[in-house]
Amino acid sequence: MTIGRSSNWANGAAGAIFLSNGDSTRGRESLMITGPGKRRDPRRPLQLSQIATSYYFESNYVATIEAAKRAIMLYPDHFTPYCWLAAAHAQRGCGTDAHAALDRASRASLLGVRHYADIGSRLWRTVDYQHFLDGLRIAGLRL
């Protein structure tokens, strides 16, 4: 698939589609094309979170944490990067950090966290969805 580098929407959509089909690398590449210059785009916080998602689905928790922290730095009130941060810390056995990230996500939007955890079953492959839920459960989320 070839998409122009200037189409933030198309590259973000392609990235999400690749992620949902289990192609984390291509998803991340498409999402990274959207570039940091699109800061005011309302889709940008989610796109940055999806970069963290791509690393998480590869079980690269260190890169997940770094990507989530970059998203949080730019959008501290958006709950989704905190979800990935919590799940990655949990998978690494860093319970205190996982609980703190999940608490921050819940303070930003408890309803959003629960909805995000639920909607994942329709967004990602079952194995990826279960992997995400496992991380959130280890972090302390009760569904």
What domains sit in the chain, N to C, each tagged with a CATH number?
8-139 (1.25.40.10)
Q: Is the pLDDT of residue 6 over 70?
A: no
Q: Is the pLDDT of residue 57 over 60?
A: yes
- Please name the residues in contact with 3: beta carbons below 8 A apart, sequence gap of 6 or more: 10, 11, 14, 30, 33
Confidence bin at 16 (pLDDT 50/70/90): confident
Residue 98: the pLDDT is 97
What's the longest Cα–Cα distance across the chain?
43
How many CA atoms does the CB half-sphere of 50 hold within 13 Å? 31
Residue 37: the pLDDT is 54
Q: Is the pLDDT of residue 29 over 80?
A: yes
Q: Is the pLDDT of residue 21 over 80?
A: yes
Provide DSSP, 40-100.
Answer: T-TTHHHHHHHHHHHHHHTT-HHHHHHHHHHHHHH-TT-SHHHHHHHHHHHHTT-HHHHHH
Q: Which two tokens stand for residue 74?
A: 């730019």
Residues 16, 71, 131, CA angle at the centre, nearest 5°? Answer: 55
Q: Is the pLDDT of residue 25 over 60?
A: yes
User: Rounded to whole angstroms, how far apart are CA atoms 102 and 90?
Assistant: 10
Q: Is the pLDDT of residue 113 over 70?
A: yes
